Structure 1
Amino acid sequence: MTLSLDYAALSDVGRVRRNNEDSAYAGPHLLLLADGMGGAAAGEVASSAAVQVIRRLDTAQISGDDMIEALAGAVHRANERLSELVEEDPEREGMGSTVTALMFDGQRLGLAHLGDSRAYRMREGVLYQLSHDHTFVQSLVDEGRISQEEAFTHPHRNLILRVLDGRPDSDPDLQILDVQAGDRLMLCSDGLPDYVADEVIAASMAAGTPDSVVVELITHALEAGSNDNVTCVVADVVETAPASGSAPQLVGAAAELAQGSTGPGIASAAGHGGSGHGGGGRHANIDPEELRYAPRPPRRFLWPRRIAVVVVILALIGGAGWFGYRWTQDQYYVGTDGDFVAIFQGVDADIPGITLTKVFELQPQLQVDKLPAYNRQQVEGNIQADDLAGARAIVSELQRTADECAKKTNPPVKTTPPPSKPPVSTPVSTPPASKTPPPSSPPPGGQTDPDDCDGVR
């Protein structure tokens, strides 16, 4: 069985506010509400931009579990659009919007929610809240610190924690919901539930058509003293094609901006009238919506701040680089410079365009090829030293090794003086000479140990 929606949407600026920052849309496959915030002239821009992006889902012909992915993608695209708007005009920094959307495929609903606007479903006379408020007060209720009744009158009940604001962490709650013929769905901005009890909302939702219900709900909010914009979208789930409301409806700031309206007032596809400007205007010239988004207040001088941040980052990088360079110049090692051993200052690092080492002391008396093979390999691979004194000690040890090898490979030549003439004496008969030759003595200078000075040239 294929179901359809019979819907109506209405938005009122309220009795105190001078501009409408709510936007809403109702179509055959999508119910959508956004409540903008941020003061100045940014709240209506945020909600309108969010609705204009997300409303495209109404014609997307998406069904089943794919609705979740489609809703998430649409909300993220709307978030990117808000980021672009802030880049175009830094004065909009700090603006944001709630988003509550119900996507309908004829059998089920997909819900996307971010902020404190609400989604309700009435089934068999029982009203049930589908969305979960992202507010400070709701967090207190969730933690058991206050009751739901206390939350209704809490002084900070409008302090919102999560909204669509152009930042990358604006992720909505997502879920798939069942639906059946006879269900009545309702989306509303906080201007209704903050002033009208659930019992009164349920009584209004229990009878009448979607057109009459939106009018009655907004009337209740205004009579209760709501000082905020009030917007409602109501839809009945029916088995037959709806008798009315078949054309999509766009209300609130989205409709006003689309029509090029610059003055305050209401925009209603249901035909509800009234300017709603009574009640004394703004209190002390402060827009209440500017206080809703306290966790992320609007920032001024965006570009100078960004430039200052860049300058600080560059200064930190430059400082770290300078200290790093100074550290390298306190390092010493022993290596080769051509044919000779040398003490180097710095570190032997291959960084394009930067030289971190130089010859500090050349040792012209110490040739590399006069060292044994093992020591020569050490020097050619660089011998690290703790400091300059350590490097000089390494050079002294290498010099001593080279001198010892030079003595072993080039021993001094010992000269033997000519024998003096023996004195004349009386000949004495001697025994015949032995045929065994006398033992030989080692050559002068001894033998060179090949292991000590191996490879000396």
Structure 2
Amino acid sequence: MTLSLDYAALSDVGRVRRNNEDSAYAGPHLLLLADGMGGAAAGEVASAAAVQVIRKLDKSGISGEDMIEALAGAVHRANERLSELVEEDPEREGMGSTVTALMFDGQQLGLAHLGDSRAYRMRDGLLYQLSHDHTFVQSLVDEGRISKEEAFTHPHRNLILRVLDGRPDSDPDLEILDVRAGDRLMLCSDGLPDYVSDEVIAASMADGTPDSVVVELITHALEAGSNDNVTCVVADVVETQPSSGSNAQLVGAAAELAQGGTGRGEPTVVVPGHGSGGGAGGAVLDPEELRYAPRPPKRFPWLRRIAVLVVILGLIGGVGWFAYRWTQNQYYVGTDGDYVAIFKGVEGDIPGLTLSSVYEKQNLQVDKLPTYSREQVENNIQADDLPGARTIVSELQRTADECAAKAKPTPSPTPKPSTPKPSTTVPAPTVTVKPPATTPSTTPTTGTVNPDDCDGVR
């Protein structure tokens, strides 16, 4: 069974306010409401921008869990749009908007919610709130500190904690909801539930068409003395496509701005009935001044950006300076042309910056070292510090000296032949004496360096 929506949307600037900061949209696949805030900081711009971005989801082909991903992405893009608007005009700093959206795929609903606007469902004569208020008093209710009835009259019931405001922490509540034929859905700004009880809302939604229900609900809010904008979207879930639901509806600030207006319409004529009247007698405190605690506009934002850039560059420069100073406390032994040298710094270079230089050039020639020691020096020998580098050079010099000494063997001295003394007594017979069968020694003097270690000395 294929289901569809029969919907209606209506927005009223209210009895006190001179500008409508609410925006709403109703289409075959999307019901959307945004309540802007920030007073002089362009709340109507915020709500209209949010609706204009998110309303693009009103199309077929997105269903099931994909609706959650699509809603999250659309809210994120709307948040980025608000950030861009603040960049374009710093006077808008502090503006924000609630977002409550129901996406419909013919079988289920996808809910995205941020702020204190509300989503309701009427089923079998019972009214159920689908969204959860992001307000201070709702947090007190959740903690059990006050009752729901006390929250209705709490002096800070309009203080909102989470909104779409162009900052990176504006994440909405997301949920998939079931839907069936006969359900009646309703979205509204806080101008309705802050002044009209759930019982009265339920009674109004129990009968009539979506068009008549939105009129009746807004009338109840105005009669109850609501001093805020009041916006409602009502949709019936039906089994057949009604002819009245073929065209999407855009109301509130989004509609006025889309037509080239300013979003600042004339206040609605006072409806006879209950209430103390409009703003004829004295100044009336704008409720938006007590809501969401708009941040004051940031003057000279380019100075802040420059300051941040200077701090970042300073940190990078400081880290670079300390790193360079560290390299200049390092030493190693290497080659400088044909001679051994002590280098200060580390191996390698950065374009435009030399990290090492000759600190002490030695008199020791590289080719006077044996092959193994020469290869070590050519590959650079790291030292712990300058004394350590000098110790390495001393060891290399000792090795070179010992190898040089072993390269010059010293022969053993040849003994002189002895001359026999003439006898003064009886002449003795002549005796021929053969020299000993030995030869002079030519073995080099044994040192502390193995002769094999001196291979390669030039």
Query: Is the TM value for this pair above 0.5?
Result: yes
Shift of 1:185: 0.8
Instruction: Give 1:425's aligned residue.
Output: 422
Instruction: Give 2:27's aligned residue.
Output: 27
Shift of 1:209: 2.7
Instruction: Give 1:7's aligned residue.
Output: 7
**Alignment check: 8 A CA contact 2:403 2:451 kept:** no
Letter in 1 for 2:177: L
Equivalenced residues, count: 447
Letter in 2 for 1:454: D
Instruction: Give 2:304's aligned residue.
Output: 305
* Residue pairs, 1:315-354, within 5 angstroms: 315-354=314-353
CA distance in 2, matches of 1:266, 1:103: 32
Partner SS for 2:347: coil
After superposition, the Cα gap between the structure-2 partners of 1:445 and 1:266, relative to the gap in structure 1 and judged at 3 Å, is same
**Alignment check: 8 A CA contact 2:7 2:26 kept:** yes
Given candidates 360, 365, 368, the residue that maps to 1:367 is: 365
Q: Cα RMSD (Å) of the superposition? A: 3.0
Instruction: Give 1:177's aligned residue.
Output: 177
* Residue pairs, 1:30-179, within 5 angstroms: 30-179=30-179
Shift of 1:288: 4.0
Instruction: Give 2:357's aligned residue.
Output: 358
Instruction: Give 2:437's aligned residue.
Output: 438
Partner SS for 1:451: helix
Shift of 1:243: 6.7
Q: Which moved more, 1:219-228 or 1:370-379?
A: 219-228
CA distance in 2, matches of 1:397, 1:375: 10
CA distance in 1, matches of 2:157, 2:454: 88
**Alignment check: 8 A CA contact 1:5 1:237 kept:** yes
CA distance in 2, matches of 1:227, 1:428: 157
Q: Deviations over 1:110-157 (max 9, x none)?
A: 222222211000111111111122334333433444443343344443
CA distance in 1, matches of 2:14, 2:453: 100
After superposition, the Cα gap between the structure-2 partners of 1:134 and 1:385, relative to the gap in structure 1 and judged at 3 Å, is same
Partner SS for 1:122: strand
Q: Which moved more, 1:382-391 or 1:330-339?
A: 382-391
**Alignment check: 8 A CA contact 1:252 1:266 kept:** no
With normalisation by structure 1, the TM-score equals 0.87
Partner SS for 1:355: strand
Shift of 1:45: 0.8
Letter in 1 for 2:73: G
CA distance in 2, matches of 1:325, 1:428: 94
Instruction: Give 1:451's aligned residue.
Output: 452
Q: Which moved more, 1:344-353 or 1:331-340?
A: 344-353
Shift of 1:234: 1.2
Shift of 1:38: 2.7
* Residue pairs, 1:372-451, within 5 angstroms: 372-411=370-409, 419=416, 422=419, 424-426=421-423, 428-429=428-429, 433=433, 437-440=436-439, 442-443=441-442, 445-446=444-445, 449-451=450-452
Q: Deviations over 1:325-347 (max 9, x none)?
A: 12211221111111111011111
Partner SS for 1:196: coil
Partner SS for 2:396: helix
**Alignment check: 8 A CA contact 2:409 2:442 kept:** no
**Alignment check: 8 A CA contact 2:94 2:294 kept:** no
**Alignment check: 8 A CA contact 2:22 2:230 kept:** yes
CA distance in 2, matches of 1:236, 1:212: 12
Partner SS for 2:352: coil
Shift of 1:228: 2.4
**Alignment check: 8 A CA contact 2:41 2:91 kept:** no
After superposition, the Cα gap between the structure-2 partners of 1:129 and 1:326, relative to the gap in structure 1 and judged at 3 Å, is same
CA distance in 2, matches of 1:304, 1:350: 36
CA distance in 1, matches of 2:140, 2:374: 75
After superposition, the Cα gap between the structure-2 partners of 1:265 and 1:381, relative to the gap in structure 1 and judged at 3 Å, is same
